[in-house]
Chain A
Amino acid sequence: MTQTSVEDDRELLARAQAGDMSAFEALVDRHEEKVYGLALRMTRSEADAAEIAQDTFLSAYQHLSEFRGEAAFGSWVHRIAANNALMRLRRQKVLDIVSDDLAGPEFTDRGSLAEVPESDWSKRADDKILDEELGRAIREATDALPEGYREVFLLKDLEGLSYEEISEMVGISIPAVKSRLHRARLALREAIDAFYKEV
């Protein structure tokens, strides 16, 4: 083991800023999984994800001198990657703003839940291993979300960005971000509920 393995990002970053290529490569090593994963979830394309990872680290390198180090290197590249993925999505398709097809709970006229959940499956969510079929159902349900909802959900619940960051990146207000997040979660909850009902 070299000393590099115990150095933290900050030290690596300082060395990279001083022109040490191997320090930058070590930073890439540490963060490529997360960057690639984010890009893959956002674009659903392995080819796009690979290119976004390339663009992200290249642009991080080109802007190294501007990085002040108040934020963590990880969240910095994370934001660059999220922006790159959003830009690519923009290019590829017109944002789907139709939201009427989003699933959610149904209510009676008096506002009571029309359907009682079959079972409380939240306890099974703690299982270490995710059922393969459930995983597939969730991926399909996520893919089926309207684009504007999918990206907000992924950026918040998968990537852990703040409402402020998402609002800025996606170009909608914070209340709109929260509303989309809630609707997306309801639709996904519905999909998981349906999965457990079928079994």
Chain B
Amino acid sequence: MFNCKESIDSLLPFLEGEMSPEDEEHLRQHLNGCPPCVEFVNTYRATSGLCRKALVKSMPPEVAGRLRAYLRSKLETK
């Protein structure tokens, strides 16, 4: 059976389904008896989505306008 550290170290292959069946069994056994690690897995899994929400930013209209003007000037002279 894994301890907390081994469990957390193996989260990436675990969540991607790339763990060996034996290791996955070790991890599952640990998670069954360790609520803090279950919370850790849940919050680890939620982290990417929260970051995506925080980091998405749209293009300001003036930037879009400049891009269009730039491309036009570059492409039409070819």
Contacting B at CB under 8 A, from A31-66, are: 32-33, 36-37, 40-41, 46, 49-50, 53-54, 57-58, 61
Cα A125 to Cα B75 with chains together (Å): 44
Q: How many B residues have CB within 8 A of the partner chain?
A: 42
- The answer to whether A105 and B50 touch across the interface, beta carbons within 8 angstroms, is no
Q: Answer whether residue A166 sits at the interface, using C-beta atoms and an 8 A cutoff.
A: no
- The answer to whether B67 and A28 touch across the interface, beta carbons within 8 angstroms, is yes
- Place the interface of chain A in its size category: 35 or more
Cα A122 to Cα B15 with chains together (Å): 15
Set of chain A residues within 8 Å of B39, measured between Cβ atoms = 116-117, 119-120, 122
Q: Answer whether residue B36 sits at the interface, using C-beta atoms and an 8 A cutoff.
A: yes
Interface string of B40-76 (1 = CB under 8 A from A): 1011111111111111111110011011101100111
Q: Answer whether residue B8 sits at the interface, using C-beta atoms and an 8 A cutoff.
A: yes
* Given contact pairs A50-B63, A111-B4, A120-B39, A28 touches B76 in the complex (Cβ within 8 A): no
